[in-house]
């Protein structure tokens, strides 16, 4: 990307029909946690540029940069209602399909547990604990996604 912007003739190759991971391939617009558990953002560079461009057309669901790390009860309550959307979707799918295996269900359950712990840590102003639990939740979600 930098080479192309600098004027070099550039070819971008990708083995799939899109760049990125679950946010693009899975059409996931919710990017819930963008910090180190405190007030320091961890998304920057091209990823942040793309998110900001998508914001303009309503293509993301994420906290504003100035809200990252906030322990404002109203903000925590607002974002809490979105936590678990992916896991809840898998649970609902499992009720209607055999596509969700017991292993996927287990991974989804682990993700839900870690998300709950992350939210509790946020409410207790424990940024490190929230970040740690969210990392574990994302690991469990990735494990479930790999089983699809």
pLDDT, tens only, 57-93 = 988 777 777 777 777 888 878 877 776 666 666 667 6
Asked whether the predicted pLDDT for residue 128 surpasses 90, the reply is no
How far is residue 77 CA from its own chain's centroid? 18
How far is residue 110 CA from its own chain's centroid? 16
The pLDDT, as a whole number, for residue 6 is 93
pTM, rounded to two decimals: 0.50
Asked whether the predicted pLDDT for residue 27 surpasses 60, the reply is no
Asked whether the predicted pLDDT for residue 26 surpasses 90, the reply is no
Given a contact cutoff of 8 angstroms between Cβ atoms, the answer to whether 130 and 118 are in contact is: yes
The pLDDT, as a whole number, for residue 7 is 94
Upper half-sphere CA count for residue 78 (Cβ side, 13 Å): 13
């Amino acid at each position: 990307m930098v080479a192309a912007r600098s004027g070099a003739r550039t070819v971008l190759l990708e083995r799939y029909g899109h760049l990125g991971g679950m946010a693009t391939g899975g059409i996931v617009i919710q990017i819930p946690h963008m910090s180190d558990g405190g007030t320091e953002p961890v998304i920057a560079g091209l990823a942040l540029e793309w998110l900001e461009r998508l914001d303009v057309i309503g293509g993301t669901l994420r906290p504003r940069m100035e809200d990252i790390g906030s322990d404002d009860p109203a903000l925590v309550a607002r974002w809490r209602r979105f936590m678990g959307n992916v896991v809840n979707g898998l649970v609902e799918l499992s009720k209607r399909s055999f596509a969700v295996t017991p292993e996927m269900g287990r991974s989804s359950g682990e993700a839900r547990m870690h998300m709950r712990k992350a939210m509790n840590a946020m409410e207790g102003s424990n940024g490190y604990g929230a970040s740690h639990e969210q990392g574990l939740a994302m690991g469990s979600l990735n494990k479930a996604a790999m089983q699809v």
